[in-house]
């Protein structure tokens, strides 16, 4: 081994040292962290034929969505753990500031009982929907083929829990003013049985049982989430403003900031997959498969929404605008 070169210390990780520029904190702590992609035959270092190894080989490695270098993906927001908490602590301080101010002004007492009935039917049951988004995002976290993707999925899961938390908070708070609307009691019944929710419930049950990671990403981030964000956040927020519920409109505006970030990473990921032939076709086929379910969900939900003319048409149109922006 005498003629072998002796390795010298590097300024950064060897996998980043080949490039000539100094890596950012985001790159140092986020890139190439998965090791279950190193051996295609045994994602995990046990029997290659172990059930979980077969799961990863089938649903991730053999997905129709393929790329030669998934590790090249970068989150356009370059969020790392500590900046995520700074960002969201700021947002939560803002939202809880709203809760505080509106409570001091006795906001809820000014709401029409009819609107509160609407909230009990199409707002407070939303915690089940947001929790389904949390679960589906956690699935993407475990199945995505690069750590820069799994990070985005993890933050998305946490953001979904954030939305669910806001809804739980407001459900409780509303129930203190309005004791006869079933608030905090009837949400599961509405979610399981009410016509307004059945489209979204079926949509999310189907997304949650989609195991191929590529299809799960497309169904969740390109179809289901945009439908939910346009109908259950944006349009419901508008309905709130039109019914004297200023707080709801401001709350969904804050949540839509998260949604916009989720679309930025999803857009960047789609753009990267288009570098390889075959992916555009796979994505388009999945969108064609999932779009009708999402449209039905928007129609059913928006039909129950008062004071927002053309809510369903607007929401569906906005989901199309987003997907058109992907340049598939």
Partner 1 sequence: MALLGRLDWYNLARTTNWTPGSVTEDELFPPDMSGSMGIPLSKWESYDEPYKQTYPEYVKVQREKDAGAYSVKAALERSEIYEKADPGWQSVLKLHYGAFPRAEYSASTAEARMARFGKAPGMRNMATMGMLDEMRHAQLQLYFPHELCPKDRQFDWAHKSYDTNHWAVVAARHLFDDMMVTRGASEVALGLTFAFETGFTNMQFLGLAADAAEVGDWSFSNMISSIQTDESRHAQIGGPLVAILLENGRKEEAQRIVDMMIWRAWKLFSAVTGAAMDYFTPVADRKMSFKEFMLEWIVSQFERALMDLGLDKPWYWDQLVADLDHASHAMQMGFWFWRPIMWWNTPAGVTAEDRAWLEEKYPGWSESFGTVWDVITDNLLEGKKELTYPETLPMLCNMCQLPIASVPGPAWKVRDFPLEYKGRSYHFCSEGCQWCFEQEPERYAGHLSLIDRFLAGHIQPPNLEGALNYMSLAPGEIGDDAHNYAWVEKVRAARQKAAA
List 65, 80, 224, 283, residue binding partner 1 (CB under 8 A): 80
User: Among residues 101 and 317, whose Cβ is nearest to partner 1?
Assistant: 101
| Near partner 1 in 36-55, by CB under 8 A | 36, 38, 42, 44-53, 55
Contact between 5 and partner 1 (CB under 8 A)?
yes
**DSSP 8-state class, residue 221:** I
For partner 1, the binding residue among 60, 63, 75, 88 (CB under 8 A) is 88
Closest of 162, 21, 6 to residue 84, by C-alpha: 162
Q: Is 156 in the site for partner 1 (CB under 8 A)?
A: no
- Smallest gap from residue 105 Cβ to partner 1 (A): 9
Question: Is 165 a residue that touches partner 1 (CB under 8 A)?
Answer: yes
Q: Which is nearer to partner 1, 38 or 324 (CB)?
A: 38
Residue 67 found at the interface with partner 1 (CB under 8 A): no
Closest separation between CB of residue 170 and partner 1, Å?
Answer: 9
Contact 17, 138 (CB under 8 A): no
Using the rule CB under 8 A, is 179 a contact of partner 1?
no
Q: Cβ of residue 36: shortest distance to partner 1, in angstroms?
A: 7
Of the candidate spans 21-29, 115-123, 228-236, 315-323, the one that interacts with partner 1 by CB under 8 A turns out to be 21-29
H or E, element range at 287: helix 279-302
**Cβ of residue 22: shortest distance to partner 1, in angstroms?**
11
CA dihedral angle for residue 160, residue 166, residue 167, residue 171, rounded to 10 degrees: 160
User: Binder to partner 1 among 78, 112, 205, 281 (CB under 8 A)?
Assistant: 205
Say how far apart CA 216 and CA 46 lie, in whole Å.
Answer: 26
Site for partner 1 in 93-112 (CB under 8 A): 93, 95-96, 99-100, 103-104
Residue 60 Cβ vs partner 1, minimum distance, rounded to whole Å: 12
CB of 85 to partner 1, least distance (A): 4
Strand, helix or coil at 321? helix
How far is Cα 56 from Cα 58, in angstroms, rounded to an integer?
5
Residues in contact with 195: Cβ distance below 8 Å, sequence separation at least 6, in sequence order: 300, 303, 304
Closest separation in Å from C-beta 225 to partner 1 = 16
> Rounded to an integer, what distance in angstroms lies between the CA atom of residue 30 and that of residue 151?
8
Q: Return the number of the residue (46 or 313) whose C-beta is nearest partner 1.
A: 46
Kindly compute the dihedral angle of the four CA atoms of residues 156, 162, 163, 164, in this order, to the nearest 10 degrees.
Answer: 110
Q: Is 21 in the site for partner 1 (CB under 8 A)?
A: no
Number of residues that bind partner 1 (CB under 8 A): 89
Query: Buried b vs exposed e over 255-290: b needs ≥16 C-beta within 10 Å?
Result: beebbebbbebbbbbbebbeeeeebeebbeebbeeb
Which residues, 241 to 270, sit near partner 1 by CB under 8 A?
none
Minimum distance, C-beta of residue 274 to partner 1, in the bound complex (Å): 27
Among 78, 89, 275, 307, binds partner 1 (CB under 8 A): 89
75: closest CA among 16, 148, 144, 147? 148
Phi, psi of 39 (to 5 degrees): -125, 105
Interface pick for partner 1 out of 62, 180, 209, 325 (rule CB under 8 A) = 209
Which residues fall within 8 angstroms of residue 199, CB to CB, at 6 or more apart? 293, 296, 297, 298, 299, 300, 301
């Amino acid at each position: 081994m005498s003629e072998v070169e002796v390795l010298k210390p590097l300024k950064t990780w060897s996998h980043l040292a080949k490039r000539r520029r100094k890596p950012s904190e985001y790159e140092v702590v986020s890139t190439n962290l998965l090791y279950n992609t190193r051996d295609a035959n045994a994602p995990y270092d046990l029997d290659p034929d172990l059930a979980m190894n077969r799961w990863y080989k089938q649903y991730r490695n053999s997905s129709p969505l393929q790329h030669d270098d998934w590790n090249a993906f970068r989150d356009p927001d370059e969020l790392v753990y500590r900046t995520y908490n700074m960002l969201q602590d700021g947002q939560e301080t803002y939202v809880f500031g709203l809760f505080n101010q509106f409570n001091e002004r006795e906001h809820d007492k000014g709401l029409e009982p009819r609107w509160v009935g609407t909230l009990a039917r199409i707002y407070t049951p939303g915690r089940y929907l947001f929790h389904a988004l949390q679960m589906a995002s956690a699935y993407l976290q475990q199945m995505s083929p690069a750590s820069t993707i799994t990070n985005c999925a993890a933050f998305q899961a946490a953001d979904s829990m954030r939305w669910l938390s806001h809804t739980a908070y407001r459900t409780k708070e509303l129930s203190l003013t309005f004791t006869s609307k079933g608030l905090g009691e009837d949400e599961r019944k509405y979610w399981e049985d009410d016509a307004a929710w059945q489209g979204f419930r079926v949509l999310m049950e189907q997304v949650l049982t989609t195991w191929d990671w590529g299809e799960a990403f497309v169904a969740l981030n390109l179809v289901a989430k945009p439908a939910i964000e346009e109908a259950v956040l944006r349009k419901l927020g508008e309905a709130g403003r039109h019914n004297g519920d200023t707080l709801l409109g401001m709350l969904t505006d804050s949540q839509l900031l998260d949604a916009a970030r989720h679309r930025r990473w999803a857009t960047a990921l789609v753009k990267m997959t288009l570098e390889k032939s075959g992916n555009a076709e796979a994505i388009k086929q999945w969108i064609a498969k999932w779009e009708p379910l999402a449209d039905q969900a928007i129609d059913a939900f928006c039909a129950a929404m008062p004071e927002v003319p053309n809510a369903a048409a607007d929401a569906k149109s906005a989901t199309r605008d987003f997907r058109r922006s992907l340049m598939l």
